Amino acid sequence: MDNKNRNIPVHVSIIMDGNGRWAKARGQQRVYGHAAGIESVRAVTEAAVEEGVEYLSLYAFSEENWNRPESEVSTLMDLMMDAMKKELPTLMDNGVRFVVLGNRKRLSDRLNEGIDFLMEKTSGCERMTMIVFLSYSGKWDICQAASRAAAQLGPEGMANLTQEQFGQYLVTAGIPDPDLLIRTSGEERISNYLLWQCAYTEFYFSPVLWPDFRKEEFREALRAYSERDRRYGKVK
């Protein structure tokens, strides 16, 4: 069966939550949970490729997460750097294009160089696009889009601004809006994620903590999505 008949979402997005609680339950430091969470990223990416998802986006670090203790922030950035170094061959083998979106000005030069290297190396991969949202927040995105749009279009252009035009200034320009948003760990909130882009997204909340969320849990979310009836405000 092709993807349309199986009702596979084109774009799946995930708020990967619960690493700290997972570690705490094991009597470990929070960072232990973040390291375990990387295994889930690997497994879910593989499952998404297998299922024919075209875009997999992951909320890895919010603008608000900069307010966590310095040691946790720096470990998260180091884990990110390590994972990028290790995963290049797997991404290439699976045809995965790697993209980072967010307020990259706040990232270190070293991390930005690593990101550019991986994005460049995988730019020709066409099977799936993996987007990692790093130092991202929905309000930040809308604000930066408004500033750039105003600078480019001027007062008259802004007065006649369309939704389609505005979307071109968001960091997600050219990427279809998420069809399905998964949040793990039992929290049922958006935490300043893709505010504009989730206008008609289907939400799926799982009680499973992110380090325990693997292929089977991901497939269950896709199954639940396949039964949703998306009406977009119309009558069916």
- The residue whose two tokens read 């309000």 is 139
Q: Does 17 bind Mg ion (CB under 5 A)?
A: yes
Cα 159 to chain centroid distance, Å, stands at 32
User: Which residues within the stretch 160-199 sit at the binding site for ligand IPE (CB under 6 A)?
Assistant: 185, 187, 189, 191
Looking at 9, 18, 138, 178, which residue binds ligand IPE (CB under 6 A)?
A: 18
By beta-carbon proximity to Mg ion, the closer residue of 17 and 179 is 17
The span from the CA of 17 to the CA of 26, in Å, is 16
Cβ-proximal residues to 12 (8 Å cutoff; 6+ apart), any chain:
48, 53, 55, 56, 57, 178, 179, 180, 181, 182, 221, 222
7 is an active site residue:
no
The span from the CA of 117 to the CA of 105, in Å, is 17
Q: Does 63 bind Mg ion (CB under 5 A)?
A: no
Residue 29 contacts which entry, ligand IPE, Mg ion, none (Cβ below 5-8 A, type-dependent)? none
By beta-carbon proximity to ligand IPE, the closer residue of 12 and 149 is 12
Stretch that binds Mg ion, among 14-22, 38-46, 106-114, 115-123 (CB under 5 A): 14-22
Q: Does 217 bind Mg ion (CB under 5 A)?
A: no
- The residue whose two tokens read 């499973």 is 208
Q: Does 75 bind ligand IPE (CB under 6 A)?
A: no
112 is an active site residue:
no
Q: What is each CA distance from 104 to 86, 112, 153, 201, 224, in whole angstroms?
A: 21, 7, 24, 26, 34
Q: Does 19 bind ligand IPE (CB under 6 A)?
A: yes
The two structure tokens encoding residue 120 = 């460049």
The two structure tokens encoding residue 49 = 């490729």
By beta-carbon proximity to ligand IPE, the closer residue of 20 and 114 is 20
Q: Does 179 bind Mg ion (CB under 5 A)?
A: no
Task: Please identify every residue annotated as catalytic.
Answer: 17, 65
